[in-house]
Structure 1
Amino acid sequence: MTLLRTAILAASLTATAAAAGPVSFSSGWQEQRLSLFSSNDYSFGNQLSMTSDGSVSIAYARVPQSDWQASSASWGWTVNQSVPATDLRRKGGDDRNLSLYFVFLPDSKAAAMQGSGINALLSDSDVRVLLYTWGGNHSRGAAFPSPYLPGQGMNIALRPAGTGSFNESVNLAADYANAFGGQPGSLVGLAVSGDSDDTDSMISAAIGNLRLN
């Protein structure tokens, strides 16, 4: 997962997700491979479906300016085949079924960097990422820094490793304040990932009905 930082931040550089309210999974999403030799299989349509076989990659989309000030989100997700429980605080060995990323920049920088390339974003210390996770061995609501984005990414555990179907609703503004302090600024990118490479296991999962408010 050495390219995870690049993949997450690439969410702010890609094609457009749907306008305010529902987020479309049928267009505007692209996969970022994290390995030259393996990647997840994504299917885009009414929902984003994913299978992962000892692999890891990320699908990402840009958030249109009309949704930059979203302060909450809701979605439904399903896992039919799960990775084992892991410690998501550990760099390497931290497989999870699904992570949903929300990528933020300060308002002033979002406008100024709207057309910037990935190198410019990677060098910007003001990028912040909330990562809502299904996987690991953590209790619901546990929050801990991403080992891949020190000081810039915060994992928030919603579901431990396992199967089922659930609906989620999160307060992005409150979670951002708890994670980083202050206001979240502009929500410029979204990403979905699955990670089964460290445990050489399999994932069958899907996410849909994603709404920004």
Structure 2
Amino acid sequence: MIRFAVSFALLLTLAGCATQQDPQPQKPSASASSLNTRLSVFSRYPAGGLPDGWEPMILLRNKQRTEYQLVRDADTTVLHARAESASSGLMLKVDVQPQQQPWLRWSWKINSLVKSADNTKRATEDSPVRIILGFDGDKDTMPFADQILFETARVMTGYDFPYATLMYIWENNAPVGTVIPSTYTSRIKMMVAESGSEALGDWRDFTRNIAEDYEKAFGEKPGRLIGIGVLTDTDNTGETAEAWYGDIQLLQERFAHEGDAAQPLSLSQGK
């Protein structure tokens, strides 16, 4: 019963992938196609507040919330996160076919690790930065325990939760490329995008093929991408973490511009 309650609470954090959001005015005008490829270009916004369309992703009501705000970093605007024994995220609803736009590009920066974090253990599962992807799929094919969990969550909340969730994280020790299964449910997998302390204080740029990464993590091809989020969390370790997220883009081709071909981004680490 305790494991079910904890797992159910974790599903609630992913509700933003499926909830209907109220229409909001868009500050930067853009076509539907550009919104699909540029999921969140924080650099287009002024400092202060949050980017349009992003909704709070709350873990449990009794947990402290991570603070998020658009800030200036050098000559651009980025999303700043600060967690003090806290765990909440931001989620944006999308509708994208990963096979058509498989390349996810983002950047992040942290000044320190969550020292006692270990994402292979439930009691210390924290990360200073996470990119969260929620995917649609056939829930009838899930393990029976997960089907019961998801159906109970749907009945109690009225939300349909993602069929599968893939997270890119910064881990203390696990090598880049490692897939870490969640200790709560088989429908959540964490992939290590950065590891260790060598890059602390530096902006790190990433380009990942989410269709290939999903297949590596779950052993099947992905369904539609229905949500993308960020999460900086320290609730399990009780530590403090500060992070900065740069623009997040979903692209048809690995290189967004011709000039990128001369200096390609690594699939597993920054430039």
Report the TM-score, using the length of structure 2 for normalisation: 0.66
In the other structure, the counterpart of 2:248 is: 210
Q: Deviations over 1:66-118 (max 9, x none)?
A: x34432201010112331152202112112111111111139x9xxxxxx995
37-46 or 8-17, which deviates more: 8-17
1:33-182 correspondence to structure 2 within 5 Å:
33-35=58-60, 36-44=62-70, 46-63=77-94, 65=95, 67-69=96-98, 70-106=101-137, 119-122=158-161, 127-148=163-184, 150-162=185-197, 163=200, 164-182=202-220
Number of equivalent positions:
201
Unaligned stretches of 5+ residues in structure 2: 27-33, 43-50, 72-76, 141-153, 252-271
Q: Which has the higher Rg, Structure 1 or Structure 2?
A: 2
Whether the aligned pair in 2 keeps the contact of 1:81 and 1:202 (CA below 8 Å) is no
Instruction: Report which of the two has the higher share of helix.
Output: 2
Instruction: Report which of the two has the higher share of strand.
Output: 1
Partner Cα separation in structure 1 for residue 78 and residue 20 of structure 2: 19
1:178-197 correspondence to structure 2 within 5 Å:
178-197=216-235
**C-alpha deviation, 1:44, in angstroms:** 3.8
Whether the aligned pair in 1 keeps the contact of 2:107 and 2:245 (CA below 8 Å) is yes
In the other structure, the counterpart of 2:12 is: 6
Percent of residue pairs identical? 22
In the alignment, structure 1 residue 29 sits paired with structure 2 residue 54? yes
- SS of the residue corresponding to residue 130 of structure 1 reads strand
In the other structure, the counterpart of 1:19 is: 35
Whether the aligned pair in 2 keeps the contact of 1:27 and 1:44 (CA below 8 Å) is no
Partner Cα separation in structure 2 for residue 10 and residue 55 of structure 1: 18
**C-alpha deviation, 1:6, in angstroms:** 1.3
Amino acid at match of 1:23: L
Partner Cα separation in structure 2 for residue 12 and residue 44 of structure 1: 24
Query: RCO greater where, 1 or 2, for CA within 8 Å and sep 6 or more?
Result: 1
Q: Deviations over 1:142-166 (max 9, x none)?
A: 1121123x22111101112542320
Unaligned stretches of 5+ residues in structure 1: 110-115
Change (3 A) 1:72 1:85: farther
Partner Cα separation in structure 1 for residue 112 and residue 222 of structure 2: 34
Whether the aligned pair in 2 keeps the contact of 1:102 and 1:130 (CA below 8 Å) is yes
**C-alpha deviation, 1:199, in angstroms:** 2.1
